[in-house]
């Protein structure tokens, strides 16, 4: 089933969730290792380029996911009204942090003096600017904040699984 039901996410929502989870893990891995290779090295350029390209893909999927969520019921089976409300606000926080994170990354790229080519066949313009360092710091702070919120998300999924409630059927498809 493609669409969500009151008790379970549909196949598209689940695919977007798990694809984005993999992308976010890859983005964190690339982001945290980006500073290891020597500046100007081919390896560092590869890591940075991959991070930027996966960031643009993450943003595109985030937009698609938010649009899909807007037109489909969100399963709340197995959750109390309070937990359903907290889950709603928690998901909105994740979406907002992801959007801010990607937009901060985009702004960093645009403070470069040269355009940045993307795998998809176009370039992100480079306008230069003095905000580069501040944007990098904001991007890093957002990354740590997002990581904490995502760990809380995973922790709550584990708690609900251990409690044996039906909420885990939603994204696991069972």
Res. 144 pLDDT band, cuts 50 70 90: very high
* Residue 122 three-state SS: coil
Calpha distance 63→73 (Å, rounded) = 17
Q: How does the average pLDDT of the chain come out, rounded?
A: 91
Domains of the chain: 11-172 (1.20.950.20)
- For tokens 């997002």, what's the residue? 146
Q: Is residue 10 helix, strand or coil?
A: coil
Average pLDDT over residues 120-147: 94
Q: State the average pLDDT over residues 35-48.
A: 95
Q: Which tokens sit at 133?
A: 């360092």
Token code pair at residue 61: 């999927």
Q: Quick one: average pLDDT of 105-127?
A: 93
Whether pLDDT at 171 is above 80: no
Per-residue confidence (pLDDT) for residue 103, from 0 to 100? 96
pLDDT beyond 70 at 167:
no
Q: Quickly state the pLDDT bin for 170 (edges 50, 70, 90).
A: low
pLDDT at 174: 58
Instruction: Kindly tell me if the per-residue pLDDT of 148 is higher than 70.
Output: yes
Higher pLDDT residue, 84 or 153? 153
Binning pLDDT at 50, 70 and 90, where does residue 4 land?
Answer: confident
What is the band of 21 on the pLDDT scale with cuts at 50, 70, 90? Answer: very high
SS3 135: helix
H helix count then E strand count, the chain: 5, 2
Whether the pLDDT of residue 172 is over 80: the answer is no
What is the predicted pLDDT for the residue at 94? 97
Interatomic CA distance for residues 169 and 171, integer angstroms: 6
Whether the predicted pLDDT of 50 surpasses 90: yes
Kindly report the number of other CB atoms within 10 A of residue 27's CB atom.
24
Output the CA torsion 102→108→112→115 (10° steps).
10
pLDDT for residue 146 is more than 80 = yes
Q: What average pLDDT does this structure show over 54-82?
A: 90
Q: Where are the beta strands (DSSP E) in 12-149?
A: 116-117, 123-124
């Amino acid at each position: 089933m493609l669409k969500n039901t009151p008790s379970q996410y549909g196949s598209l929502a689940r695919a977007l969730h798990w694809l984005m989870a993999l992308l976010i893990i890859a983005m964190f891995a690339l982001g945290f290792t980006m500073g290891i290779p020597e500046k100007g090295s081919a390896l560092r350029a590869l890591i940075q380029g991959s991070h930027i390209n996966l960031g643009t893909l993450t943003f595109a999927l985030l937009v698609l996911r938010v649009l899909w969520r807007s037109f489909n019921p969100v399963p709340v089976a197995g959750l109390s009204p309070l937990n359903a409300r907290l889950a709603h606000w928690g998901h909105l926080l994740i979406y907002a942090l992801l959007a801010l994170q990607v937009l901060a990354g985009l702004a960093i790229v645009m403070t470069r003096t040269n355009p940045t080519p993307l795998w998809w066949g176009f370039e992100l313009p480079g306008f230069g600017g003095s905000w580069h360092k501040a944007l990098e710091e904001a991007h890093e702070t957002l990354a740590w904040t997002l990581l904490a919120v995502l760990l809380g998300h995973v922790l709550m999924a584990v708690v609900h699984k251990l409690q044996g409630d039906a909420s885990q059927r939603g994204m696991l498809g069972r």
